[in-house]
Amino acid sequence: MKKVIKNGTVVTATDTYEADILVENGVISQIGHNLSTEGVETVDANGCYVFPGGIDPHTHLEMPFGGTVTKDDFETGTMAAAFGGTTTIIDFCLSNKGEPLKDAIQTWHQKSKGKAVIDYGFHLSIGEVTDAVLNELPSVIEKEGITSFKVFMAYKNVLQADDETLYKTLVAAKDLGALVMVHAENGDVIDFLVKKALSEGKTEPIYHALTRPQEIEGEATERAATFAGLANSQLYVVHVSCADAVQAITKAREKGYEVWGETCPQYLVLDQSYLEKPDFEGAKYVWSPPLREKWNQDVLWNALRTGQLHTFGSDQCSFDFKGQKELGLGDFSKIPNGGPMIEERLTVLFSEGVKKGRITLNQFVNLTSTRVAKLFGLYPKKGTIAVGVDADLVIFDPNIERTISAETHHMAVDYSAFEGMTFIGEPVSVLSRGEFVIRNKEFVGKQGAGQFIKRAKYGETYKM
Ligand code: URP
Ligand code: ZN
Ligand code: ZN
Ligand code: ZN
């Protein structure tokens, strides 16, 4: 039925104002003052912000990785996302070298269909660029609506692609209208440093960080950006963790290259010292790129504030501590990389960013939703509050203080990277296309209600 959201403060990437929002048939049909409540369900947002639903550009749900599979799937992962104020995710579909891309896409549809509680799209990883792959790419974009490709410069002998592949992907993406995403770390150098450390008996989780120094994230970022400039193409650097990578992006942009950067909650709040926790607990904090020395956090905040970084993704990639992270007991290189982040993405950026005066409220919306929608072909269907767009809305209480714990989070994973930490701000109710998914902090959504979204080409708007 029709709903009117009353008394809230509407926040977009550009404006903050008091207004009522009328929702009809899944879209926003009116924004104004004193909208009639007759025959309409009234939702009181007094004292709350109303944000466009969060869009998470970076998730790995039910993904095989490091000899195991991520714990959260499209059901638990999207439920947790919704609790956290996210109404759309873009998940990474992994292709296998030598296999048709359409098989990989089919596999990802099977994982998600009938499970997701919010809308979703896919990025597609490219491991090699053969004639067969080049022949398939146009239909991946036009028919499948997958308009972003991911190339890994790390994870040697597993996911890593070579420079030729990256360059060819950039060239193809320019021709076809896609955005190329990179995991930027020099996998060859890492492989050498890891083997050397293990041969010296250095097996603890902290050596994960020490064998992936920030110089080689900076180097890979600069290399990818150089290729993007040379190919006159477009590049999006995922999970930027450190000063060296921020500098590489800034330098490329100063030359006029089209290079975008994403960072994630873990890099803003946690640091390298967490990997030194005793009893193997450091394994909970193993990400690639790794958590950095704390001083890098100021550089990342500055980059978010000044526009050198552009989006905020979760890099949700959860593994249980028991049984999964423990695969790396006695050998840090066998610890599955990644952590649970999908649920806390908005709260962390709001609490640490907006509340602490590091970014504005409108920048918060831009980083968590609007800019993501624009870069990934979802705008304006998703990513803003305006008449005619999807009623994906978050009613957010900006004053509530809460302590994070695995006991109370909604992800399936057995630990929280933020256990015991306190943040300010929490989604109270969340709507996806006009229907409540979260209502007064209770899940009221439906498994399978989420729709797959075929996205517009890079640089184009979504045709409604
Ligand atoms: O450690 C991480 N980031 N795991 C997820 C896979 C990736 O590299 O994004
Ligand atoms: Zn209804
Ligand atoms: Zn990565
Ligand atoms: Zn990732």
Which pLDDT score, from 0 to 100, does residue 84 have?
98
How many A from CA of 314 to the centre of ligand 4? 8
58 and 9, same structural domain?
A: no
Give the residue-averaged pLDDT of 349-355.
Answer: 98
Cβ atoms within 10 A of the Cβ of 135, count? Answer: 11
CA of 278 to the centre of ligand 3 (A): 26
Pocket test for ligand 1, best of 319, 337, 342, 413 (most atoms within 8 A of CB): 337
Residues within 5 A (CB) of ion ligand 2:
1
- Checking if the pLDDT of 56 tops 90, the result is yes
Cβ-based neighbour number of residue 398 at 10 Å: 17
- Number of domains forming the structure of the chain: 2
- Provide the residue count of the chain: 464
Ligand 1 atom closest to Cα of residue 92: 9
pLDDT number for residue 251:
98
Strand bridging mode 3-11 / 49-52? parallel
For the segment 105-130, what is each residue's pLDDT rounded down to a tens digit? Answer: 999 999 999 999 999 999 999 999 99
Spatial separation of the C-alpha atoms in residues 412 and 327, rounded to whole Å: 18
User: For position 223, what pLDDT does the model report?
Assistant: 98
pLDDT digits 0-9 by tens, 400-433: 999 999 999 999 999 999 999 999 999 999 999 9
Q: Same domain for 37 and 69?
A: no
Containing domain of residue 28, as a range? 3-51+387-398+424-443
308 within a domain of the structure (yes/no): yes
**pLDDT for the residue 290:** 99
* Domain presence at residue 227: yes
pLDDT tens for 81-106 read 999 999 999 999 999 999 999 999 99
Give me ligand 3 centre to Cα 152, in Å. 7
**In a shared domain, residues 34 and 124:** no
pLDDT at 39: 93
At 1 the pLDDT is 82
Return the ligand 1 atom nearest residue 65 CA: 6
Q: Which residues line ligand 1 (CB under 6 A)?
A: 60, 183, 239, 287-288, 315, 317, 337-338
With pLDDT > 90 as the criterion, what percentage of the chain qualifies? Answer: 100
Q: How far is the CA of 138 from the centre of ligand 4 (A)?
A: 25
Are 24 and 59 within one domain? no
- Taking Cα atoms as reference points, which of 309, 306, 339, 304 lies closest to residue 321? 339
Provide the pLDDT confidence category of residue 13 given band limits of 50, 70 and 90.
very high
Q: What is the CA radius of gyration of the chain?
A: 21
State how far the Cα of 62 lies from the Cα of 59, in Å rounded to an integer: 10
Q: Is residue 405 part of a domain?
A: no
| Mean pLDDT of all residues belonging to the chain | 98
- On whether both 177 and 281 belong to a single domain, the answer is yes
Q: Is 273 in the same domain as 320?
A: yes
CA of 57 to the centre of ligand 3 (A): 12
User: Looking at ligand 1, which residue's alpha carbon is closest to its atom 9?
Assistant: 315
The pLDDT-based confidence of 273 (bands split at 50, 70, 90) is very high
Predicted local confidence at residue 191, as pLDDT: 98
Question: Ligand 1, atom 8: nearest CA belongs to which residue?
Answer: 288
- Give the Å distance between the CA of 125 and the centre of ligand 4: 11
Ligand 4 centroid distance, CA of 77 (Å)? 14
Q: What is the CATH number of the domain that holds 120?
A: 3.20.20.140
Q: How far is CA 428 from CA 18, 116, 312, 347, in A?
A: 18, 20, 21, 12
Parallel/antiparallel/unpaired status of strands 49-52 and 54-59? unpaired
pLDDT per residue over 304-322, tens digit each? Answer: 999 999 999 999 999 999 9
pLDDT of residue 197: 98
Contact assessment for residue 34 and residue 21, using Cβ atoms and an 8 Å cutoff: no
The stretch 8-33 carries a mean pLDDT of 98
| Shared-domain flag, residues 154 and 191 | yes
| CA-wise closest residue to 166 among 228, 216, 102 | 228
CA angle, 185 then 70 then 345, to 5°: 70
User: Which atom of ligand 1 has the smallest separation from the CA of 159?
Assistant: 8
Per cent of the chain over pLDDT 70 is 100
Give me the mean pLDDT over the 185-201 stretch: 98
Ligand with smallest separation from the Cα of 339: 1
Say what the pTM is: 0.98
Mutate which of 71, 317, 342 for ligand 1 pocket (most atoms within 8 A of beta carbon): 317
pLDDT at 149 over 90: yes
Residues 94 and 173 in one domain: yes
Q: Helices 101-112 and 131-142 meet at what angle, rounded to 10?
A: 40
